[in-house]
Structure 1
């Protein structure tokens, strides 16, 4: 399937707010968003919050925050199912009137007894149709003081079949489906019914979602047919697995999208990674979202489960950190560094420092940690100082300090001056660079010493050298 239907493309992301936005949900949102963008269509955000016991405002906010961080902007919504109750009641009433739904007074205990009898007989447990109206059938007497549920009158014969854009043709016998409850005794509608009505009202043309919804699809198709609604095209995406081949869970590390900005990942890295976690465009690994939307189609969605690889994500994040604007990186790193006691007054420009360090790190957190050496007073280990700041090197350091007072303060001029001092004292670079690093930064591992000196500035270098000479 390379083209959309004749109707304008309308896709939706419809999470249940019972927890955080997980990686599988984020990938579903990304694919639905990209498909709408590819065809100039509409991407809708719908919050399916009818599970009152588990839905929370905090989870709604976590979903919206995750979408905002990823930059997956919706064109319509967010729509909330709990704000559409009147519409659902209207459709239920119409279905009761038309005969595609009926009142059922069986108690939960009676329904469970039906299922137990079927299990004992080796049959699939289901509602047995006690209250289903049929020609010539006499229904039981209505129990006093018992509120009914409303059940959908599912077809008794035939099959439900659809061409899944990911999995191919899927066929399920109607005998496998019972008359599901579409409204509870208090009148609140149930999940599959709400989804069908919403997809109808919102004109959804393509439904991309996780393959844990495959069993819901025949029920929703039958409801859509019963209410005279057009059917969207369905595509069920395989789940994301951990490196051990098991379903991705907290024991594999972060599974909430919003854990990743906290760990120093950039949204463009996460989007690029999720895009390739179930879809491909030849051997292309790194691409912008504009390029992804141009390329994205449903032909290249993979049928097999994808494995989440943290090393691959880290590699992509390194790529995007290297591409990122240094001022943007400074905005992200500064609060992390302040929490660690960084002192920015009179210190080097943070964007300049991060630009020097970003080639070597995989996350913004690593970048912030690496930059701390420029924003706190050095505290070199006494034993290391005694080892590296010895009598053999002190004359060279003294000459270096003297030359620092007048040398042009550029990386190139500093590098040339260091070479001249080394030659004058017949020393190799490490013998001078190691004590310099300790005095200036308090550590032995830093970027190139000439770059470090340039960033700190003349006054800071002279002040720190004076403490030890």
Structure 2
């Protein structure tokens, strides 16, 4: 049988980091074993499910490049199948009608609590057939009364739960809609899911689902329950920690490779290795090597990984992601250097692609104002002569590339008998509008020659104004 994993998010919000890690682990395990990876949208919570959330899940999966083999399947399109299985369980005596109201069930649980017993439905309608006329009913699964359920968990080891602890859970509500534990079982059965990888908050559901599978005569998949992710503060990761939605990380300037590499290490390790290519992840990953304890999210570590990938991936590829940020910030890159060249000179100077776009605007847009602090520090009256001379030498260049530009700047300093900083810093402020940039000769080479000369004139005008006001 083909090894099959699945990722089954509910479309009630964005694709969060914990979900993305589950999807990644499921995808990697299928890839490693030549298996199938299913995407299933569990949208039976009709009131909370939205198309926007479905789109957010798809966007996240596509941005992370985790392609599914089959799907996406939608549970709302499978109600007829769930109804068929519910009827099958009724016919086999493994389910029954329950006419107890919610208030009656609450009373049963309170009574059990008062006696120090397990708080659960007491099975009042489990064996009854004296069904009342025209009264709504739910359908409950007839859970075994004795024995144990053993979850052979690939991450946490064997987990044993006594059937006495389990309720006769509702598998169909009074309006006929199926419940989560029933739909999941039917889907995993029909889709031949062999390995269920999910968060350990689902452990309480697993024995119930195993008992339903056994009642149906279906194969029980292997389970791998992944521990939760904690925030920097040690508490469960949530909205208060900031960017927990996958697409927020794109918006904040992270590369998908960086987020994937970070997530794969957030609960799994291979020695001391920190950086993994996609191919290495597939080759080395194994569910059995996942940590049993919760993992703490560390934003500084993610930034480090992101910087690594910005500097080491093919600049042409990184440029495709930088283009999105340029457009997002309203920067038209048609009239300026190729973004690939920007990546080459800026990647080791920033933490994110968003920041890279922000500090590269001057390559594509003229500016009307120079940075005030840079002007105050570097465009003093004494720099007028260096600016006039370096402009003259730059204007004379017929080869507008880094080496001749560097020579022109150097010759200006030599001729005026001043340090390179007395020429380079005023020129940098003139050309970029501020006091920071990559190597000046390379920066100028990526700018249009006439644009640089015009910007030097603009800076000289600022110097003249300072002289006039002094």
TM-superposed CA distance for 1:342, in Å, is 3.8
Given the alignment, which residue of 438, 441, 445 partners 1:454? Answer: 445
Alpha-carbon distance between aligned partners in 1 of 2:30 and 2:43, rounded to the nearest angstrom: 24
Deviation larger for 179-188 or 413-422: 413-422
Q: Does 1:394 align with 2:384?
A: yes
- C-alpha displacement at 1:435, in angstroms? 1.3
Alpha-carbon spacing, 1:329–1:126, altered in 2? closer, same or farther (3 Å): same
- Aligned position for 2:423: 432
* 1:253 aligned residue: 242
Map 1:9-408 → 2, pairs under 5 A: 9-133=3-127, 139=128, 141-334=130-323, 336-337=325-326, 340=329, 342=331, 344=333, 346-378=335-367, 379-380=369-370, 385=375, 388-390=378-380, 392-407=382-397, 408=399
Matched, 1:465 2:456: yes
Q: Whole-Å Cα distance in 2 between the matches of residues 89 and 187 of structure 1? A: 8
**Superposition RMSD in Å:** 2.0
SS at match of 2:57: helix
Q: Deviations over 1:210-234 (max 9, x none)?
A: 0000000000010011110111111
Alignment-derived partner of residue 412 in structure 1: 403
In the alignment, what sits opposite 1:4? none
Offset at 1:75? 0.4
Q: Is the partner of 2:25 in helix, strand or coil?
A: helix
Q: In 1, distance between residues paired with 2:28 and 2:228?
A: 19
Aligned residues: 458
Consecutive unaligned residues of structure 2, counting only runs of 5 or more, are 462-470
Residue 267 to residue 119, structure 1, CA distance change in 2 (3 Å)? same
C-alpha deviation, 1:195, in angstroms: 0.9
For residues 387 and 15 of structure 1, the distance between their equivalents in structure 2, rounded to whole angstroms, comes to: 55
Offset at residue 102 of structure 1 (A): 1.3
Matches of 1:461 and 1:361 in 2, distance apart? 24
Between the aligned partners of 1:385 and 1:123, the Cα distance in structure 2 is 77
Which 10-residue stretch deviates more, 384-393 or 420-429? 384-393
Tell me the CA shift for residue 31 of structure 1: 0.5
List runs of 5+ in structure 1 lacking aligned partners.
1-6, 134-138
TM norm structure 2: 0.92
Aligned partners of 2:374 and 2:434 also within 8 Å: no
Kept in 1: contact 2:230–2:236 (CA 8 A): yes
Of the structure 1 ranges 343-352 and 200-209, higher mean CA displacement relative to structure 2 is found in 343-352
> What SS does structure 2 have at the residue aligned with 1:102?
strand
Q: Which runs of 4+ in 1 moved over 6 A?
A: none
**Structure 1 residues 384 and 43 mapped into 2: Cα distance closer, same or farther (>3 Å)?**
closer
Structure 1 residue 313, shift from structure 2 partner: 0.8
Structure 1 residues 461 and 58, CA gap change in structure 2 (3 angstroms): closer
Q: Aligned to 1:299, what secondary structure does the other structure show?
A: helix
